[in-house]
Amino acid sequence: MTWYETIDEKLARLRAELAQAQDELIEAEAELADQKADIAAFEYEYNARAGYLLDKLAALEDEVKHYLDRIKLLRNKRIFGTEHVPVEEQYRRVWQQPPPPPPPPPQPSSPATEAQIKKLYRQLARRCHPDLGTTEADRAWRTQIMAAINDAYAARSMTELLAIARQVDAAQPDTAVPSGQTAAEMLQVLEAEIGRCRRRLREIDLEMTNLHQHHLVELMLEVKFARKRGRDVLGEMAQDLTRKVARKEAERDMLKTQFESMGLGGSIR
């Protein structure tokens, strides 16, 4: 016997598919935001315990190179009679400007506060996600609000999330489905919404894959696994970097003394 699906049955099936796709999408968005937050929290811990030493070591290496360059220039001056500047040094001065410092990472929150932030984020995402909109105006409003929600979540700001929640309560627009749609038009709308949710899910999957290739993720996982075994990887890194900084400081001081003994004196410019 051949089974035929009526229009009403198809509408009911597509509505169920859309509801499931929307639930999956919201959960995937929240998981993506959680992954980004975990990386940001680890980056803060890394910078606080070891990263600043790496920056200090890089600064010392630049200082050592600067002293070496000044000593080389002084020797060239004695040989050529002028302060000869090699071509590579001229290029470095003109083109190799230091990059601007990165913005500070968000402050880590306590486990209790973190749980509250995650719960509130999911509640807001389920209420405000753009793919839950029923009209273009509704989607535009949701897109704007969701961007603010994501920014507040990335900053781990409970205050901002609560303020957005109050704003949502006071200003959520009319989300009624436009009347006068035929059954065929409703089918097209449902199919289009399901397609959009699935495309966004694929985009999130790709973002998660790329996120796992973040340069800090491998170290973050190593730190977590080692911590379970009682090993402090970041502490070991800090000790190693501290030794390297001390050696580089000694090298810098030696070159500074050499530079001053050659007759220029004072600090380098």
pLDDT digits (tens, 9 = 90+) for 21-75: 988 988 888 888 888 888 888 888 899 999 999 999 999 999 999 888 888 887 7
The first and second tokens of residue 269, run together, are 């410019």
Angstrom CA distances, 48 to 80, 159, 243, stand at 48, 25, 17
Residue 204 lies in a domain: yes
Residue 134 lies in a domain: yes
pLDDT value at residue 73: 82
Q: Is residue 17 part of a domain?
A: no
Per the structure, the count of domains in the chain is 1
The pLDDT assigned to 107 comes to: 56
What is the pTM for the complete model shown? 0.63
Distance separating alpha carbons of residues 170 and 116, to the nearest angstrom? 22
**What is the reported pLDDT for 267?**
43
For residue 253, what pLDDT band results from cuts at 50, 70 and 90? very high
- State residue 173 phi and psi, 5-degree precision: -75, 175
Indicate the average pLDDT of the chain: 81
pLDDT greater at residue 213 or residue 240? 240
- CA atoms of 259 and 73, how far apart (whole Å): 11
Residue 151 lies inside a defined structural domain of this protein: yes
Evaluate whether residue 3 is within a structural domain.
no
pLDDT value at 76 more than 90: no
pLDDT band at 82 (very low <50, low <70, confident <90, very high): low
Q: What is the pLDDT of residues 119-165, one digit of tens each?
A: 888 888 888 888 777 778 888 888 888 888 888 887 878 889 898 98
The rounded percent of the chain whose pLDDT value lies above 90 is 26
Decide if pLDDT at 268 tops 90: no
In this structure, is residue 4 part of a structural domain?
Answer: no
Residue 13 located in a structural domain: no
In three-state form (DSSP H/G/I as H, E/B as E, the rest C), the secondary structure along the chain is CCCCCCHHHHHHHHHHHHHHHHHHHHHHHHHHHHHHHHHHHHHHHHHHHHHHHHHHHHHHHHHHHHHHHHHHHHHHHHHHCCCCCCHHHHHHHHHCCCCCCCCCCCCCCCHHHHHHHHHHHHHHHHHHCHHHCCCHHHHHHHHHHHHHHHHHHHCCCHHHHHHHHHHHHHHCCCCCCCCCCCHHHHHHHHHHHHHHHHHHHHHHHHHHHHHCCCCCHHHHHHHHHHHHCCCCHHHHHHHHHHHHHHHHHHHHHHHHHHHHHCCCCCCCC
Check residues 199 and 135 and name the one with the higher pLDDT. 199
User: Which residue range(s) make up the domain with 201?
Assistant: 23-95+106-174+188-261
Q: Left (φ > 0), alpha (ψ -120 to 50) or beta: where does 103 sit?
A: beta
- Asked if the structure places residue 241 within a domain, the reply is yes
HSE, side-chain direction, 13 A CA sphere, residue 141 = 17
